[in-house]
Amino acid sequence: MDAGPSIALVQSGRSLLPELVAYESYFLRNHFRTEIWSSYEFACDAGLDAVLVFYGWVPRSRRRPNFLVADLNSRSTGKYRWWKDAAKGAFNHRPDLLITQNNYTASMCVGKGAVPEVRRGMGYFGNLVLPPGQPDYDVIYAGTLRRRGLPQALLHLARLGLRVAVVSPDRVELRHQGIEELGLLSLEATYEAYSRSRVGLNFIPIEAPYIYQDSTKLIEYNAAGLGTLTTRYPLVQEFEKMRKGRFLYWSLDLNAQEICDFDYTTADVTDLDWPVLLDATPLASQIRRMLSRGGV
């Protein structure tokens, strides 16, 4: 039996992205030799058939692998986000294959000419979901703290008398006895913290690119059976309606009792379990087919 193709998955940033873990399992299931690298250059030197990167800054001045898969998991953020997107389109390597969430992420320019594309949303790890336990926290927030208004929202919840847990690699001064900063946790420990919480906070600033992209934590909260307290924007309202959930929408006028006693309904996210979600895509077969044709 011939050996299957090989692929390097490049980890970016300090934390291990959930989708990177999901990709590793997916490619192994599809009989790819799969390796995770923390360096793009080292991944290019590893001699594997393909390299998958989360498409940040990969300029043409850097080495290019024989077959480049670019995952556009997010558009650029921050004050100069439009300029950063334009710079990526102008100066980044043109990938052989794109992975995008939706039309919004796909619209980021990645060079002239059509690039083959595979679509996939965000998911959760069903094998890590635990039965609800005795709640230690009224509200849990997981994710970056570098969002406008978020630290103030967490402090507001604590000042209402709620017990708040924060799972994040970011260090922000949240000095309140009602807030427990758990730091950066493994995926397993994060899901365990969900099992000891009542409500998940999905705090999305009402601005691009956030309101046009899937919220991983929203999906994870619902998979874990938590109530959802969220800012209001069209994508989350569509998610709530289509998946038959019932969410409480963020307002400074809410009190602790309203947050704890709201009649939450978790959304049905069974089709977003990472193996189910990725197995529904043609990603592995597309890479195999293109490699067999020399990248075409």
Pairing mode of beta strands 97-100, 179-183? unpaired
Run of H or E including 35: strand 33-37
The pLDDT, as a whole number, for residue 193 is 98
Q: What are 198-254's pLDDT values in tens digits?
A: 999 999 988 767 778 899 999 999 999 999 999 999 999 999 999 999 999 999 999
Give pLDDT, residue 112. 45
Give the end-to-end CA distance of the chain in Å, rounded to a whole number.
Answer: 25
Question: Which residues are within 8 A (CB) of 260 and not within 5 positions of it... i.e. 6 or more apart?
Answer: 138, 162, 198, 199
Nearest to 164 by CA among 146, 147, 148, 145: 145
Q: How many CB atoms lie within 10 A of CB 87?
A: 15
Q: Vertex 210, ends 209 and 214: CA angle to 5°?
A: 115
What is the per-residue DSSP string for 59-90? BTTS---SSEEEEE-----STTHHHHHHHHHH
- Architecture of the 126-272 domain: 3-Layer(aba) Sandwich (3.40)
**pLDDT attached to residue 296:** 55
Give pLDDT < 50 ranges for the chain: 1, 112
Instruction: Let me know: does 9 contact 35? Beta carbons within 8 Å.
Output: yes
